[in-house]
Each structure stands twice: as C-alpha cells, then as structure tokens.
Amino acid sequence: MTTVLKVEGLKKSYGTKEALRGIDFEVQAGEIFALIGPNGAGKTTTLRIVSTLLSPSGGKVTLLGYDLKKEPERIRENISYLPEEAGAYRNLKGTDYLKFMANFYADTQEKTEEMVKRARDIAELGGALGDKVGTYSKGMVRKLLLARALMTKPKMAILDEPTSGLDVINSLEIREIIKKFAKEGISVLLSSHNMLEIEFLSDRVALIDKGVILDAGTSGGLKDKYQAPNLEVVFRSAVR
C-alpha cells in the first residue's frame, strides 16, 4: 500500500485555544479515512490544514511526499476540498461553474471538457446544469460541488460533512458516488457526525475529541475492541 497522506504530531492553536494537540494518522491510496467526533473536536481544523487553508502551529503534514509548509502549491494540485458549508457562484450556470473550476487543473481544452463530462456523470443533474446555480436546491448544490471535487480525479478528496443537511435520498446517492470513486483509486479523508454514514463509507476511522485522536482502526475492529454494537457506543466508550 502507498501512503498518500502522513500527519505527524499535528498541532493548531487559535490564540490561547488549542484546537489540535498533536495528532497522527496516515491515509493510504484508495482508502476512505474518516474522522469522527463531536463539534469542536478538531475535525474541520484537521481537514482545513490538510487542504492548505490553515497553517499548522506544530507537527508535520506530507501529501505524496510534498511538505505542506514548503510546497502548498504542489499539494493543491493533488487535492480537492469540499467544505461543510460550501457554495458555488450563484450567477454562474452549473456547467460554467464546472468549466471554471476545471480550468485550474486542466492544461488543454480537451482535458477541461473531459473533466466537465465526468462531473456531469457524477452530478446527474441533467438539464439543470444549464441553469444558474442560484436556482438550485441545497441537494443539487451539494451534488454539483461533489462532482466538482471528484471530476479532477484528485489523489486525495477531502470532504467535510459531505452529506450535511441533505435528505436521505440525496445522502445515499452522495455516499454511493464517494464509494465508487474510492474504488477507482482516489483516497478520501472525510469528517462526519453521522456514525452510520461513517460505518457505511470508511475503511478506517479515527475517533477525535478535544484535539486528540483517542483511537483509530476499522469500524469492525473498533466495535470488537470496545464490544459495542455500533460506532456511537464505541465513541462513548472511548471518551470515557
């Protein structure tokens, strides 16, 4: 297995508040790695650091061997980040938005078209892609953004609460898409409150609370270890 992401002793402080107090984990190629924990545990901060939005206060992050502090540009070329409350440009049509984003990753017009076609297939929004994003429902925007994140076939997709605020049908569709792309070799680092979602999606899980990783492993392994019927009980036991 090839290690795509390596996080070592990662720390982050906002003034006097410590959001991350030294966390370590690795993500392998094609693996879906999930961070689960309550609000304020440090999930989003970790994802934002890996996606080069925030700079770490300590520790080291390497993606495909590129050091986050020294080569953030190279890291950006190989990742796609989907923030929890992301939006798209409301005045642009769906297709124009996808083209605009694809142009940052594609060298040629053909590659841009190829990425947009892939995004169309992922989003399955049909004729709505010809409408302005401002007219989309929340679920449609989320599908568009997920398609945007995956159309470039990044080495790593960083997804913060990918199904947050969506109905059951949209959530299921999005989970299927993520699973499918991971099988094609894309590594996924995701965070979620939804333990069921994590059990369904992830290959490995890290339990994070108050800026510290309490435990990590496969869903099955963790359930066995804590003799718990599901991840919610695992988490409660780990916190105690």
Partner 1 sequence: MKKFTNLLVKEIRELVNKQLIVSLVMTMTIFYFVGNLAKTEMKKAAATQKISVMDLDESDVSRGLTAGLKTANFEIESIPGKNPEAAVQAAKQGETYLLLVIPAGFGESIVRLEPREISTYTFLRSFSVGGIRKSEILRAVISATNNYLSNDILKKKVPDVPPDILKSPIKTKDFVIVKDRMAEGSASAISGFVWSQSFIIPIILFMIIMYSSQMVISAVAMEKQNKTLETLLTVPIPRTSIVTTKMLAAGIVGLLSAAIYMIGMKSFMGGMTGGIGSSTIVSGVIKQLGLTLAGRGYVLLGISLFFAILCGLAMAMILGVLAEDFRSAQTLILPLMLMILIPYLLSFFADVQTLPLPVKILILAIPFSHPFLATPNIMLGHYSAVLYGILYMAVVFFVLVFIAARIFSTDRVLTMKLRWGKKKVVL
- Rounded Cα distance, 151 and 169, in Å: 22
Segment contacting partner 1 by CB under 8 A, of 16-24, 72-80, 204-212, 213-221: 72-80
Q: What is the largest CA-CA distance in the chain?
A: 55
Structure tokens at 179: 């699973």
* Full DSSP string of 219-231: HHHHHHHHT-SSH
Q: Binding of partner 1 at residue 77 (CB under 8 A)? A: yes
Which of 17, 73, 220, 227 touches partner 1 by CB under 8 A? 73
Residue 71 C-beta: closest distance to partner 1, Å: 11
Segment contacting partner 1 by CB under 8 A, of 30-38, 71-79, 196-204, 229-237: 71-79
Enumerate residues 6+ apart whose C-beta is below 8 A from 164: 84, 85, 192
Q: Binding of partner 1 at residue 233 (CB under 8 A)? A: no
Residue 86 C-beta: closest distance to partner 1, Å: 5
- Rounded Cα distance, 104 and 229, in Å: 45
Compose the 14-33 pattern: x for residues touching partner 1 by CB under 8 A, - for all others.
x-------------------
Chain centroid to CA 21: 21
Binding site for partner 1 (CB under 8 A): 14, 48, 51-55, 73, 76-77, 79-83, 85-92, 100-101, 103-105, 107, 145, 148
